[in-house]
């Protein structure tokens, strides 16, 4: 642990922590713009400067690792002046007169920072260049006139989604946000996950679906789980006037840590479907809304006579989009209580049949934790196109590849991860289990087996 003093408070943090995070831990606020807790520090905006005893100039706290005995001041005349200067330059570089910007009035971090630093004007002549607004993308509008080049979106695209579509062209004050080699965003390699929009601190990336439909302080935040696939991403559903305004990934989500795919973020806003708000029972061939009591009694009356008659063919099929707790209960009711030999899910098929068959051969369940991907040095996917379904897992794989992780895709069909692989095995359809057995045999033959699992 490292002990340091921030604004007279003694703080203990682990080695490698930045001064900014140490201050947060001590409940001390330092203004930031380019920093984002889920992205690698970049140190581009310099708003987070602090004075450090023994240092000649104010230092960017988001990049500065703590040192034993460090003495930091976060709110001196010198740092206030430096922060105002940073904001002055930012307001002089691009047109941030924002009466029409959808984030103006509460959601713009630049505007909020200016209010916080009590800016009333800036003493420099504006040096604005007019940039064309790119509205070619189906889900967001890219407006370089609002951009502060904090690169949060660039980092989110690479570090969260593993897609590396966004980048910065030109240098210095001419720097602009571009997609691929400066093609219209709608024609780029963007996979439409919206991570860039979620982290943008200004109105440079405007979400088309939710624009002008409510600021953060006007919406109701409802924590929930995405049912777009069986990954189970945590989401923050924001509603206003009884309408879904936007869906963000929940940064505290245990599985996705704030990341979402296109399906989770945008599909529920696009679908104008009628929501089912009540249980229904089929009467005379038609589904009719009933009370929960009536629905549960109906289900119980029909299930009770089947108890213990597994041989009479009780099959139970669940959606894998249910939470793990619900699936466990489902299994308990039908497999344990009813003795059904057929408790399965709608996603049964190659992706689940192969691991199930392998698990039977190995004599133990074939399980893995999503977060073991973070420490993997090789990832193999079999029979799953993670660029199409369960995309968040695909992101987690793609984003570790720059570390030198090897990717092997086994799929007889075209697979969205094919361009990223070290090895692609186009095995014959239905031969996935044979491929696995062959690989397992090779592992044993080469003496690479680590022995049975405990
Ligand atoms: Fe530290 Fe931008 S927040 S330099």
Position 79 scores a pLDDT of 96
Query: From the alpha carbon of 150, which atom of ligand 1 is closest?
Result: 2
Cα separation, 293 vs 54, in Å, equals 71
pLDDT digits (tens, 9 = 90+) for 123-144: 888 888 999 999 999 999 999 9
Considering the entire predicted model, what is its pTM?
A: 0.86
What's the rounded mean pLDDT across residues 417-445? Answer: 87
pLDDT band at 428 (very low <50, low <70, confident <90, very high): confident
Atom of ligand 1 nearest to the CA of 43: 4
What distance lies between CA 286 and its chain's CA centroid? 41
pLDDT recorded at residue 334? 85
Pocket test for ligand 1, best of 31, 32, 36, 37 (most atoms within 8 A of CB): 32
Q: What is the dihedral of CA 339, 341, 344, 350, to 10 degrees?
A: 160
111: three-class secondary structure by DSSP: helix
- Residue 44 CA, ligand 1 centroid: distance in Å: 6
Q: How many residues does the chain have?
A: 454
Q: 94 near 62, Cβ under 8 Å?
A: no
What is the per-residue pLDDT for 454? 46
* Of 345-349, 359-363, 377-381, the least confident: 345-349
| Probe residue for ligand 1, chosen from 30, 34, 50, 79 as the CB with the greatest number of ligand atoms within 8 Å | 34
Name residue, tokens 């799953």: 384
Pocket around ligand 1: residues whose beta carbon is below 6 Å from it? 32-35, 43-48, 60, 62
pLDDT above 90 covers a percentage of the chain that reads 64
Lowest mean pLDDT among 59-73, 278-292, 425-439: 425-439
211-259 per-position pLDDT tens digit: 999 999 999 999 999 988 888 899 999 999 988 999 999 999 999 999 9
State residue 219 phi and psi, 5-degree precision. Answer: -100, 160
The model's pLDDT over 334-360, given as tens digits with 9 standing for 90+, comes to 888 888 877 777 765 555 666 666 677
What is the whole-number distance in angstroms between the Cα of residue 60 and the centre of ligand 1? 6
Residues 6 or more apart whose Cβ sits within 8 Å of residue 44: 34, 149, 150, 151
């Amino acid at each position: 642990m490292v002990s340091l003093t921030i604004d007279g408070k003694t703080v203990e943090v682990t080695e490698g922590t930045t001064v900014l995070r140490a201050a947060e831990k001590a409940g001390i606020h330092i203004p930031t713009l380019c920093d984002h807790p889920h992205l690698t520090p970049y140190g581009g905006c310099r708003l987070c400067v602090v004075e450090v005893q023994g240092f000649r100039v104010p230092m960017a706290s988001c990049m500065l690792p703590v040192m034993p005995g460090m003495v930091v001041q976060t709110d001196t005349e010198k740092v206030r002046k430096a922060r105002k200067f940073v904001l002055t330059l930012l307001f002089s570089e691009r047109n941030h007169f924002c009466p029409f910007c959808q984030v103006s009035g509460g959601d713009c971090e630049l505007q909020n920072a200016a209010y916080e630093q009590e800016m009333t004007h800036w003493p420099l002549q504006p040096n604005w260049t007019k940039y064309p607004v790119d509205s070619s993308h189906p889900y967001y509008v890219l407006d370089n006139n609002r951009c502060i080049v904090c690169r949060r979106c660039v980092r989110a695209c690479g570090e969260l989604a593993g897609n590396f579509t966004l980048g910065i062209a030109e240098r210095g004050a001419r720097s602009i946000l571009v997609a691929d080699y400066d093609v219209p965003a709608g024609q780029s390699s963007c996979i439409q996950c919206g991570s860039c929009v979620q982290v943008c601190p200004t109105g440079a990336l405007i979400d088309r679906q939710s624009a002008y439909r409510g600021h953060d302080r006007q919406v109701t935040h409802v924590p929930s789980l995405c049912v777009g696939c069986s990954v189970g991403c945590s989401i923050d559903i924001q509603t206003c006037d009884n309408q879904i305004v936007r869906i963000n990934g929940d940064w505290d989500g245990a599985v996705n840590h704030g990341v979402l795919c296109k399906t989770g973020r945008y599909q529920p806003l696009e679908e104008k479907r009628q929501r089912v708000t009540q249980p229904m029972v089929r009467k005379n061939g038609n589904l009719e809304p009933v009370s929960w009591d009536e629905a549960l009694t109906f289900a119980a009356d029909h299930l009770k006579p089947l108890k213990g008659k597994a041989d009479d063919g009780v099959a139970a099929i669940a959606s894998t989009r249910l939470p793990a707790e619900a699936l466990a209960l489902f299994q308990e009711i039908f497999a344990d209580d009813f003795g059904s030999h057929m408790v399965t899910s709608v996603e049964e098929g190659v992706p689940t049949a192969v691991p199930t068959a392998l698990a039977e051969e190995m004599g133990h369940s074939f399980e893995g934790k999503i977060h073991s991907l973070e420490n993997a040095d090789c990832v193999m996917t079999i029979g799953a196109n993670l660029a199409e379904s369960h995309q968040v897992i695909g992101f987690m794989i793609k984003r570790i590849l720059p570390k030198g992780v090897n990717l092997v895709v086994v799929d007889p069909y075209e697979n969205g991860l094919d361009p990223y692989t070290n090895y692609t095995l186009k095995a014959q359809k239905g031969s996935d289990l044979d491929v696995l057995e062959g690989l397992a045999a090779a592992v044993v033959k080469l003496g690479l087996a680590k022995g049975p699992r405990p």
